[in-house]
Structure 1
Amino acid sequence: MTTPLLIAGHGTADEAGAEQFRQFVKRVDGLLAAPVAGGFIELSDPPIPSAVDALISGGARRVAAVPLMLVAAGHAKGDIPASLARERQRHNGLSFVYGRPLGPHPTILALLRERLAEISPDPETMVLLVGRGSSDPDANAEVARAARLLAETTPVAGVEYAFISLAEPGVPAGLERCRLLGAKRIAVLPYFLFTGVLPRRVVAQSEAWSAQTAVRVDCAEVIGDCDGLASLVIERYEEALRGEARANCDTCLYRIALPGHEHRVGAPQKPHDHPHDHAHPHHHH
Structure 2
Amino acid sequence: MTTPTPPALLIAGHGTRDDAGAEAFRDFVRRLGRRRPDLAVAGGFIELSPPPLGEAVTELVERGVRRFAAVPLMLVSAGHAKGDIPAALAREKARHPGISYTYGRPLGPHPALLRVLERRLEEALAGTGEDRSDVTVLLVGRGSTDPDANAEVFKAARLLWEGRGLANVETAFVSLAAPDVPSGLHRCARLGARRIVVLPYFLFTGVLPDRVKQQARDWAAAHPGLDVRTADVIGPEPELLDLVLERYEEAVEGDLRMNCDACVYRIALPGFEDKVGLPQQPHFHPDDDGHHGHGHGHSHGHHHHGEHSHSHAH
TM-score range, shorter chain: over 0.9
Higher relative contact order (CA 8 A, sep 6+): 1
Matched, 1:176 2:186: yes
**SS of residue paired to 1:153:** coil
Matched, 1:187 2:197: yes
Q: Could you tell me whether the CA contact under 8 Å between 1:78 and 1:271 is conserved in 2?
A: no
Q: Could you tell me whether the CA contact under 8 Å between 1:82 and 1:269 is conserved in 2?
A: no
Specify the alignment match of 1:282 in structure 2: none
Identity %: 61
Specify the alignment match of 2:8 in structure 1: 4
**SS of residue paired to 2:269:** coil
- Provide, for residues 170-228 of structure 1, a one-character-per-residue CA deviation record: whole Å limited to 9, x for no partner: 00010011101111110000000001110000000000000011122100000011211
**SS of residue paired to 2:138:** strand
Q: For residues 142 and 19 of structure 1, what CA distance do their matches in structure 2 show?
A: 27
Mark the runs of 5 or more structure 1 residues left unpaired by the alignment: 276-285
Q: Could you tell me whether the CA contact under 8 Å between 1:82 and 1:270 is conserved in 2?
A: no
Specify the alignment match of 2:277 in structure 1: 266
Specify the alignment match of 1:283 in structure 2: none
Q: What's the offset of the Cα at 1:269?
A: 7.5
Matched, 1:246 2:273: no
1:153 pairs, out of 160, 163, 169, with 163
Matched, 1:80 2:85: yes
- Provide, for residues 226-255 of structure 1, a one-character-per-residue CA deviation record: whole Å limited to 9, x for no partner: 211000000000111100012111110011
Q: For residues 269 and 99 of structure 1, what CA distance do their matches in structure 2 show?
A: 22
> Aligned ranges for residues 17-36 of structure 1 at < 5 Å?
17-32=21-36, 33-36=38-41
Q: For residues 69 and 265 of structure 1, what CA distance do their matches in structure 2 show?
A: 24
1:199 pairs, out of 203, 209, 233, with 209
Specify the alignment match of 2:70 in structure 1: 65
Q: For residues 28 and 207 of structure 2, what CA distance do their matches in structure 1 show?
A: 19
Q: TM-score, normalised by structure 1?
A: 0.93
Q: What's the offset of the Cα at 1:145?
A: 0.3
Q: For residues 181 and 281 of structure 2, what CA distance do their matches in structure 1 show?
A: 31
Q: What's the offset of the Cα at 1:271?
A: 12
> Aligned ranges for residues 103-182 of structure 1 at < 5 Å?
103-120=108-125, 122-182=132-192
Q: What's the offset of the Cα at 1:266?
A: 2.2
Specify the alignment match of 1:235 in structure 2: 246
Q: For residues 232 and 74 of structure 1, what CA distance do their matches in structure 2 show?
A: 21
Q: Could you tell me whether the CA contact under 8 Å between 1:39 and 1:46 is conserved in 2?
A: yes
Q: For residues 271 and 38 of structure 1, what CA distance do their matches in structure 2 show?
A: 26
Q: For residues 237 and 156 of structure 2, what CA distance do their matches in structure 1 show?
A: 20
Equivalent pairs counted in the alignment come to: 274
- Provide, for residues 30-61 of structure 1, a one-character-per-residue CA deviation record: whole Å limited to 9, x for no partner: 11120100100000000001100111111111
Q: Could you tell me whether the CA contact under 8 Å between 1:112 and 1:189 is conserved in 2?
A: yes
Q: For residues 251 and 208 of structure 2, what CA distance do their matches in structure 1 show?
A: 30
Q: For residues 181 and 271 of structure 1, what CA distance do their matches in structure 2 show?
A: 38
CA RMSD for the aligned pairs? 1.8
Specify the alignment match of 1:101 in structure 2: 106
Q: TM-score, normalised by structure 2?
A: 0.84
Q: For residues 155 and 58 of structure 1, what CA distance do their matches in structure 2 show?
A: 50
Mark the runs of 5 or more structure 2 residues left unpaired by the alignment: 284-289, 292-314
2:56 pairs, out of 36, 43, 51, with 51
